[in-house]
Structure 1
């Protein structure tokens, strides 16, 4: 069983394994802070995603690499957005998507898919079935990060869907540690959705 899960790492450079484990540690911290509606989600997330930008380029998962680069940018925006207050009151608390955002989300998803397909085609990277999953996950996560930065509860639903798809994708590519990370992400995301839902209901009451 151990060989099935981790044998592929015997040929990997030790520094890549160290980087992957470091990124996973900060990634789990980031999702935990997101669940707690804590602004530390952003600095920990920036460390996680910056490391993965490099690793995903090495692993030829260009869509997910672009997701992580986008995460870095959106984390900076989200960090600023979450700190905005007026007379000590948070201006952008947890909320549901507006009608305008529901119309914008599919546009972001489709535009992302088209762009990533173009990138894969340009670099001739359609070499494995995981490439197609990577493109789909990229679209889902782009919208999910946008919604998280805006503190919309629906972001958790997209994280759960994307995480579930990512588990077999990374396992098939031979990155077991990252696959396990996404399994844990899924569990935390379910609890994150429930916690944000509770906070939202308390605010309404």
Structure 2
């Protein structure tokens, strides 16, 4: 059996529960990507893309005939969205790193206008996507699947732009994602989401400190040239 076929079929049995190894590995790639994002490393983007490709096959359980025959179209669709936005983020961070600053991204607060856009986009996107996902036959409550999709889209875009608030959007995603994944039987992803919730708060604090330190250096330079 070749490695790809093994990865596709391998299962982890815990009691009477069956968990796909690619669900575990895909989420570990996602965790590694989040860690790289917190440290502002460009490699966070391609690592995340690998995890997204694996998880896309996991969340279409009925399509790929997995032991858990439940389709979460929002979860599956967001993996494709992640890949698209990650290519953009990868390009943005590489371009920034190759500039004179030599850093992948400089954390900063979004403007009030952008914050309003993010909030309205989260709510409006959820309302629009809910009937679409329901028509496709996504697992109930469908609004939660739509919420996770929109939050993931906005958070990933915010990470690419360097907005420190993107970590808080992930918290909002995790709060809804954990109970949805548990009810749908995706236990490995639920556990990782629970861990992500703590991790994203840590990432938020780390980016705030980087932002303050950077602002302090700029102010010191201005005082020195005054």
TM-score normalised over the length of structure 2: 0.77
Q: Which residue of 2 aligns with 1:147?
A: 158
Match for residue 108 of structure 2?
95
Alignment length (residue pairs): 193
Distance, in Å, in 1 between the alignment partners of 2:192 and 2:211 is 28
- Please list every run of at least 4 consecutive aligned residues from structure 1 whose deviation after the TM superposition is greater than 6 angstroms: none
Distance 1:45 1:51, change over 3 A: same
Q: Distance in 2 between matches of 1:184 and 1:104?
A: 28
CA shift for structure 1 position 100 = 3.7
Could you tell me which runs of 5 or more consecutive residues in structure 1 were left unpaired when the two chains were aligned: none
Calculate the aligned-residue CA RMSD, in Å: 2.1
What do the CA deviations read for 1:107-155 (whole angstroms, capped 9, x no partner)?
4324532442242233243x533x2321222222221111111111000
CA distance in 1, matches of 2:15, 2:155: 30
1:75 is matched with which residue?
A: 86
**Alignment deviations for residues 172-202 of structure 1 (CA, whole Å, 9 cap, x no partner):** 1111111111111112111111100000000
Residues 109 and 142, structure 1, Cα contact 8 Å, conserved in 2: no
Q: Which of 45, 50, 53 pairs up with 1:42?
A: 45
Residue of structure 2 equivalent to 1:7: 16
Q: CA deviation at 1:35?
A: 1.5
SS at match of 2:163: coil
Could you tell me which runs of 5 or more consecutive residues in structure 2 were left unpaired when the two chains were aligned.
1-13, 62-69, 217-226
Correspondence list, 1:161-176, <5 A: 161-176=172-187
Quick check: which has more Rg, 1 or 2? 2
Return closer, same or farther for 1:197/1:170 CA change in 2, 3 Å cut-off: same
Q: Distance in 2 between the 1:164 and 1:200 partners?
A: 26
Of 49-58 and 75-84, deviating more is 49-58
Q: Which has the higher helix share?
A: 1
Verify: 1:121 aligned to 2:153, yes or no: no
SS at the partner of 1:94? coil
Answer whether contact 1:35 1:188 (CA < 8 A) is retained: no
Question: How big is each residue's C-alpha offset from its partner over 1:49-89, in whole Å with a ceiling of 9 and x where there is no partner?
Answer: 11112211223111122212111001000011112237522
Q: Determine the structure 1 residue equivalent to 2:205.
A: 194
2:167·2:204 contact (CA, 8 Å) conserved in 1? yes
